[in-house]
Amino acid sequence: MYPLKRNRRLRTSPAIRSLVQETIISPNDFLVPLFVVEGKAIKEEIALMPDYYRLSLDNLEKEVKELWNMGLKAVLLFVKVPDALKDNKGVEVLNADGLMQRAIKAVKNACPGMLVMTDVAFDPYSSFGHDGIVAEGRILNDETTELLAEMSVSHAKAGADFVAPSDMMDGRILAIREALEDEGFTDTGIMSYSAKYASAFYGPFRDALDSAPVDIKNVPKDKKTYQMDFSNRFEAIRETEMDIDEGADIVMVKPGLCYLDIVREIRNEVDVPVAVYQVSGEYAMVKAAAEKGWLDHDAVMLEQLTAIKRAGANIIASYFAKDAVRLLD
């Protein structure tokens, strides 16, 4: 007469709920994106990313020490390149004393144990705001790949532990792996943005780095000829398997929340760690709704991060890393 199974027994108290909890987030799950700018004593809030900042190198050093003390042990560096240094060739990309190269050293100097991953992509350095060299309205694949391989070596020389190519050119993982091996950087890893979708959720990030495609004749207005169509699923698996074959140590799905079906599918399919990037637009949505009093910031944040891990993420790149870890304490 009574229900055959009473599933609610496992929900009756906080103690039993925590005993049977399947997914638990911890500081070890996170990769913290950091935005670096030239200058001194700069900590400027990013307009479209409330509570997130661009930091000059001195403040970057302070920040990584704070992260380390909170148990956050991995950062992903992005640089905001001054307009005067942008071009369509990549001269500044390879500057051994460039902002990224100095940022890597600054982090290692302030916090030797911190794992340093670096963004390997041309867009912050591109006068056209593209991840590749532009010619006659097209993004050149092989020329860009060569540049990314040299860029990776430059980051490795500065002390990067992992390079993280985020561009979606074909064949760049193999080119980067070969270049690193040739230069003796056998232990420098590659986290590939293997399934990166052309997403409207990157908007606030492009504001943070001033890296959006420019509106000039003969320059593509979007990144749809290299980033993936959000309608596609099989393509994500193909891209990911190819990058693993070419030498990726870690693969990634980006963005996060709208793509958790892809995350689960890839997690089931491959045997390397899978990272998920919860991107700037996802962050901005929570901040904006919380500011209006429409959503509970902390509750929604933890629910989203836990869902990303439940879907299969082994690593979560998130602007919420600090907020989440603070809450877990």
Ligand X SMILES: NCC(=O)CCC(=O)O
Looking at the annotation, which residues are catalytic? 196, 254
Residue 131 binds which entry of ligand X, Mg ion, none, CB below 5-8 Å type-dependent? none
Burial class (CB in 10 A: 0-12, 13-18, 19+), 80: middle
Q: How far is the CB of 137 from ligand X (least distance, A)?
A: 21
Helix (H, G, I), strand (E, B) or coil at 225: coil
**Nearest residue relative to ligand X (C-beta):** 205
| Residue of 168, 167, 229, 173 whose CA lies nearest to 198 | 229
Residue 239 binds which entry of Mg ion, ligand X, none, CB below 5-8 Å type-dependent? Mg ion
For residue 231, the surrounding DSSP H or E stretch is none
Contacts (CB under 6 A) with ligand X, residues 109-168: 119, 121, 166
Query: Rounded distance, CA 317 to CA 176, Å?
Result: 22
| Residue of 245, 268, 216 whose CA lies nearest to 88 | 216
Query: Rounded distance, CA 245 to CA 237, Å?
Result: 12
Contact between 279 and ligand X per CB under 6 A:
yes
Judged by beta carbon, residue 40 or residue 123, the one nearer ligand X is 123
Q: Is 63 marked within a binding site?
A: no
Instruction: Give the range of 9-17, 24-32, 196-204, 236-244 binding Mg ion by CB under 5 A.
Output: 236-244
Judged by beta carbon, residue 7 or residue 222, the one nearer ligand X is 222
| Residue of 297, 265, 274, 302 whose CA lies nearest to 284 | 297
Residue 185 binds which entry of Mg ion, ligand X, none, CB below 5-8 Å type-dependent? none
Query: Rounded distance, CA 100 to CA 107, Å?
Result: 11
Judged by beta carbon, residue 251 or residue 284, the one nearer Mg ion is 251
Query: Rounded distance, CA 215 to CA 232, Å?
Result: 27
| Residue of 189, 184, 174 whose CA lies nearest to 141 | 174
Q: Which of 205, 226, 259, 320 contacts ligand X by CB under 6 A? A: 205
Instruction: Give the range of 11-19, 68-76, 151-159, 231-239 binding Mg ion by CB under 5 A.
Output: 231-239
Contacts (CB under 6 A) with ligand X, residues 298-327: none
Q: How far is the CB of 238 from ligand X (least distance, A)?
A: 21
Contact between 192 and ligand X per CB under 6 A:
no
Contact between 239 and Mg ion per CB under 5 A:
yes
Q: How far is the CB of 126 from Mg ion (least distance, A)?
A: 19
Q: How far is the CB of 317 from ligand X (least distance, A)?
A: 8
Q: Which residues pair with 134 in a beta bridge?
A: 139
Residues near 18 by beta carbon (within 8 Å), at least 6 away in sequence: none
Instruction: Give the range of 86-94, 148-156, 183-191, 239-247 binding Mg ion by CB under 5 A.
Output: 239-247
Q: Which of 122, 128, 202, 226 contacts ligand X by CB under 6 A? A: 202
Burial letters 100-129, b for 16+ CB under 10 A, else e? bbbbbbbbbebbeebbbbbbbbbbbbbebb
Judged by beta carbon, residue 32 or residue 164, the one nearer Mg ion is 164
For residue 315, the surrounding DSSP H or E stretch is strand 315-318
Binding residues for Mg(2+): 239
Residues lying near ligand X in the complex (CB under 6 A)? 119, 121, 166, 202, 205, 279-280
Residues lying near Mg ion in the complex (CB under 5 A)? 239
